[in-house]
Amino acid sequence: MRDKATPLESRLKRLITASGPIDLATYMSLCLGDPEHGYYTRHTPIGADGDFTTAPEVSQLFGELLGIWMLSVWQQSGCPSPFHLVELGPGRGTLMQDMARTIQSQPDAFAALHIHLVEISPTLRDQQAHRLESVKRPITWHDTIESLPEAPLFLIANEFFDCLPIHQWVRKGDSWHERVVGLDDNGNLAFGLGPVRALSAPSPDAETEDGAILEQSPASDAVMATLAHKLASHGGAGLFIDYGYAKPGYGDTLQAMRNHAYANPLAKPGEQDLTAHVNFSALAHAASSAIQTNPHGLTVSPAIKQGDFLLAMGLLERAGRLGAGKSAQEQEAIRDAVERLAAPDQMGSLFHCLAILPHHCPIPPLS
């Protein structure tokens, strides 16, 4: 028996019947961000009861190391006060809680700290407020990055860019066709090909075969350009972590997650997570172009693997300290968390880190 259509699915079918297939970016935006039926507006996505788990939920070590990184770049930037620490897509607030606890070890930094959370989900905002109640510093929520202060900003984003909408282009003959979502003969949502569209991408070459898929995320590039421009104007730094690829490539990376398992991206619109791998070379390009004129001497790092970043930041030493004096069982749990965060076959290689930071900054390994 077929599952009942979700409310958003019924609406999408009406929309497509009335005005034709929609592009993938529109489909993703509605599925994730629709104010009435979007996944992030209505669901509790993260954790054992949700659909997926993220690095800060695996271990406090992740947030603590990021807190140390942030503290160091803030000091290298001349300790601007207020210390505007901005998180994009803060989930349950766990990463910010761990970073703030680390920053608290430096009283001057903690006294200057002003937390900013850019979040679209009302449910997650409530969870963030609850989780950060014990952090006695001002917190401001923002709907978009546009309302962030015109001041030096210290930006962090973990698994944020992967939920911004993408377009996909499919090679057919000598041209690229946009991949669209339409209806099949039974009236169900189905992928199809739109008309040829001009795009600012390499024209099909010998490297690609018929059916090759090219992804672009103008929304991600625009967000990165805006953030980089803010940093170039006022100073600060940014650290962006996500699963994705460091060099441009071809392939379909759109994926849906429900109850910690992969699902069909066209099933249950609005009730499962939809993401795509992040194109770090496109993000780096957007950031570099936006900081060309930059009195604060900022630079864009190459994207490096999360495992390499965490190990260089002292993951093993910190894990050792955290485990000291703990039971064998607790030590085993810490070892498991370290594996999960840094092992190449787990999050260590697929996840990458990209930074915008002062070029004189001696902080390994992104400087």
From candidates 21, 38, 63, 89, binder to ligand SAH by CB under 6 A: 89
**Residue nearer to ligand SAH on the CB measure, 116 or 268:** 116
Q: What does DSSP say about strands 236-245 and 153-158: parallel, antiparallel, or unpaired?
A: parallel
Residues 18-77 that bind ligand SAH (CB under 6 A): 32-33, 40, 46, 54, 56-57
- 250 token code pair: 């071809």
Residue 115 and residue 133 in contact, taking contact as beta carbons nearer than 8 Å: no
Residue choice 28, 31, 58, 95 for contact with ligand SAH (CB under 6 A) = 95
Work out which of 77, 102, 158, 301 binds ligand SAH, going by CB under 6 A: 158
Considering the complex, state which of residue 110 and residue 160 has its C-beta at the smaller distance from ligand SAH: 160
Q: Which stretch binds ligand SAH (CB under 6 A): 15-23, 84-92, 202-210, 250-258?
A: 84-92
Beta carbon nearer to ligand SAH, 122 or 187 = 122
Q: What whole-number distance in Å separates Cα of residue 355 and Cα of residue 302? A: 8
The answer to whether residue 220 forms part of the interface with ligand SAH (CB under 6 A) is: no
* Binding segment toward ligand SAH, per CB under 6 A, in 101-109, 153-161, 253-261, 277-285: 153-161
Residue least distant from ligand SAH (Cβ) = 89
The reply on whether position 159 binds ligand SAH by CB under 6 A is: yes
Binding of ligand SAH by 121 (CB under 6 A): yes
Shortest distance, position 292 Cβ to ligand SAH, whole Å: 26
Q: Does 271 bind ligand SAH (CB under 6 A)?
A: no
Closest contact distance (angstroms) between CB of 296 and ligand SAH is: 26
Q: Is 238 in the site for ligand SAH (CB under 6 A)?
A: no
**Single-letter amino acid code for the residue at 358:** P
- Is residue 337 part of the contact set for ligand SAH (CB under 6 A)? no
Measured from the CB atom, the residue of 40 and 154 that comes closer to ligand SAH is 40
165 counts as binding ligand SAH under rule CB under 6 A: no
Our measurement of the distance from residue 187's CA atom to the centroid of its chain's CA atoms, rounded to an integer in Å, reads 34
Considering the complex, state which of residue 79 and residue 120 has its C-beta at the smaller distance from ligand SAH.
120
Nearer to ligand SAH, 27 or 160 (CB): 160
Minimum Å gap between C-beta 305 and ligand SAH is: 17
3-state secondary structure the chain: CCCCCCHHHHHHHHHHHHHCCEEHHHHHHHHHHCCCCCHHHHCCCECCCCCECCHHHHCHHHHHHHHHHHHHHHHHCCCCCCEEEEEECCCCCHHHHHHHHHHCCCHHHHHHEEEEEECCCHHHHHHHHHHCCCCCCCEEEECCHHHCCCCCEEEEEECCHHHCCCEEEEEECCEEEEEEEEECCCCCEEEEEEEECCCCCCCCCCCCCCCCEEEECHHHHHHHHHHHHHHHHHCEEEEEEEEEECCCCCCCCCEEEECCEEECCCCCCCCCEEECCEEHHHHHHHHHHHCCCCCCCEEECCCEEHHHHHHHCCHHHHHHHHHCCCCHHHHHHHHHHHHHHHCHHHHHHHEEEEEEEECCCCCCCCC
Q: How far is the CB of 205 from ligand SAH (least distance, A)?
A: 33
Q: Residue 120, interface with ligand SAH (CB under 6 A)? A: yes
Which residues contact ligand SAH (rule: CB under 6 A)? 32-33, 40, 46, 54, 56-57, 89-91, 95, 118-121, 124, 158-160, 163
